Each structure stands twice: as C-alpha cells, then as structure tokens.
C-alpha cells in the first residue's frame, strides 16, 4: 500500500497540500492506478454524455498528474487546459502531452479565461481543496456552463461539502444533470459520487 495514499485523506492547509503532492508526484500515477482509481473515467464519461460540443475548451481544475486530462481525451475532448497547486504534478501532466496549456495556480485562485466546461475530478474534499472551491468554479462559469466533479466517501460524510452543493441547487442557481454513486478507489473499497451540474 502506498504511504502517500494512506496519508492523502488528512486535513491540511494549502501549503502543506502543495508540499504533499509535490513529494508524491514522481510515484503518483503508478500508485493511484494500482489502487484502482476509476473516478476520472467516470467523470469524463458523464461529462461527455451531457456536452454537445467536445471541441469546446475544458478547464481541468486541479489536474494533478494529468490522469483526468487523459480520461477527457479518451472520450473525445480535444481542447483541455490544466491548472494545479503543485508544480511537480504539473510537470508530470506536461510529459503526457495532453493539455493545450498548463499552469500552476495559488489556492482559491479564480480560473482565468472563459470556459463553458470545468472539471474538478477528485479535487474537493478532505486533504485537498475546500468546499468553497465549488463557489469559485461556479462563479467562473457562464450561464449554461457545466461543472463535473466528484465527492468521495469522506467528502460525502462532511455536511460542509454537500451543503455547499445544495446551496447552489436549492436556490435554483444550478441544476443537477447527473449524479451517480460508484467506485472511486477499488483497492480501498472507497466510492464517490460523480456530479455534472449546470449553472442557471
């Protein structure tokens, strides 16, 4: 079992998160793939089924080493930009030659550029980005824009995570196009809910 994976779901501040993922970057792909990480594929398939134009630019927010970008490419997306907190992860993503552009961002940074589609695969939750990331990404979307993201079991058990999503839905600022609970990390028997939501 990966020592990094065992430590992934621990509450930490932004700088500690950056340091953690910078250190994990060289072995991340091998370890997370061996753990049966299937959420990127689930998110990509869900988003593709609710996106009419797969050539429209997509922002892969918290792209990490590029596993999510690869999943989006595999289902037909052709213009993928990536941003992440950890420079070492960005370098792993760059080596895959998937992304149109890649850049390092600071915590809670507002995405630059106009994207009708944004993804946050495995990004929001314990040990990663805070629940307020949903607000940041939704405000960045235009009316009719779509956000695909996932909440793993840890996030689903935290009312601040699901509550932030429900605030957008309950006030009719967004609607859920897709929500499916399923596998996340097979080796840990951990699941996640994949969401596709549309901004009103």
pLDDT tens digits, residue range 17-41? 899 889 999 999 999 999 999 999 9
CB atoms within 10 A of CB 158: 15
146-152 sheet: strands from edge to edge: 101-104, 80-84, 58-61, 117-120, 146-152, 190-199, 174-185
CATH code of the domain containing 131: 3.40.50.150
Q: What is the pTM of this model?
A: 0.94
Tell whether the model's pLDDT for residue 3 goes beyond 70.
no
* Count of domains observed in the chain: 1
Domain span holding position 74: 3-199
**Per-residue model confidence (pLDDT) at position 83:** 97
How confident is the model over 105-146, as pLDDT tens digits?
987 777 877 899 999 999 998 778 889 999 999 999 999 999
**Per-residue model confidence (pLDDT) at position 2:** 60
Contact of 136 with 142, CB cutoff 8 Å: no
Q: Read off the DSSP letter of residue 197.
A: E
Give the DSSP letter string of 73-104: HHTT---EEEEES-HHHHHHHHHTT--SEEEE
**Per-residue model confidence (pLDDT) at position 200:** 95
What mean pLDDT comes out for the span 144-169? 95
Name the more confident of 170 and 14.
170
How confident is the model over 54-76, as pLDDT tens digits?
999 999 999 999 999 999 999 99
What mean pLDDT comes out for the span 155-184? 96
Q: What is the largest CA-CA distance in the chain?
A: 43
Per the DSSP assignment, residues forming a β-bridge with 149 are 120, 195
What gap in Å lies between CA 9 and CA 15, rounded to an integer? 15
Instruction: Compute the CA torsion angle 9, 13, 18, 23 (nearest 10 deg).
Output: -50
Tell whether the model's pLDDT for residue 173 goes beyond 80.
yes
Percent of the chain, pLDDT > 90? 82
**Per-residue model confidence (pLDDT) at position 11:** 73
Length of the chain: 200
């Amino acid at each position: 079992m990966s020592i990094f994976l065992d430590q992934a779901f621990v509450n930490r501040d932004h700088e500690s998160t950056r340091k953690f993922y910078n250190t994990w970057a060289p072995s991340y792909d091998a370890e997370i793939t061996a753990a049966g990480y299937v959420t990127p594929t689930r998110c990509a398939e869900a988003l593709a089924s609710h996106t009419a134009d797969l050539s429209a630019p997509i922002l892969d927010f918290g792209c990490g080493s590029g596993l999510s970008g690869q999943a989006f490419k595999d289902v037909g997306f052709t213009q993928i930009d990536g941003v992440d907190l950890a420079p070492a992860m960005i370098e792993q993503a760059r080596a895959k030659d998937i992304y149109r552009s890649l850049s390092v961002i600071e915590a809670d940074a507002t995405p630059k550029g106009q994207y009708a589609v944004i993804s946050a695969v495995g990004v929001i939750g314990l040990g990663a980005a805070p629940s307020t990331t949903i607000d940041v990404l939704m405000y960045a979307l235009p009316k009719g824009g779509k956000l695909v993201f996932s909440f793993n079991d840890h996030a689903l058990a935290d009312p601040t995570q699901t509550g932030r999503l429900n605030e957008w839905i309950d006030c009719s600022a967004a609607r859920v196009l897709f929500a499916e609970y399923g596998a996340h990390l097979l080796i840990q028997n951990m699941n996640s809910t994949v969401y596709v939501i549309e901004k009103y």
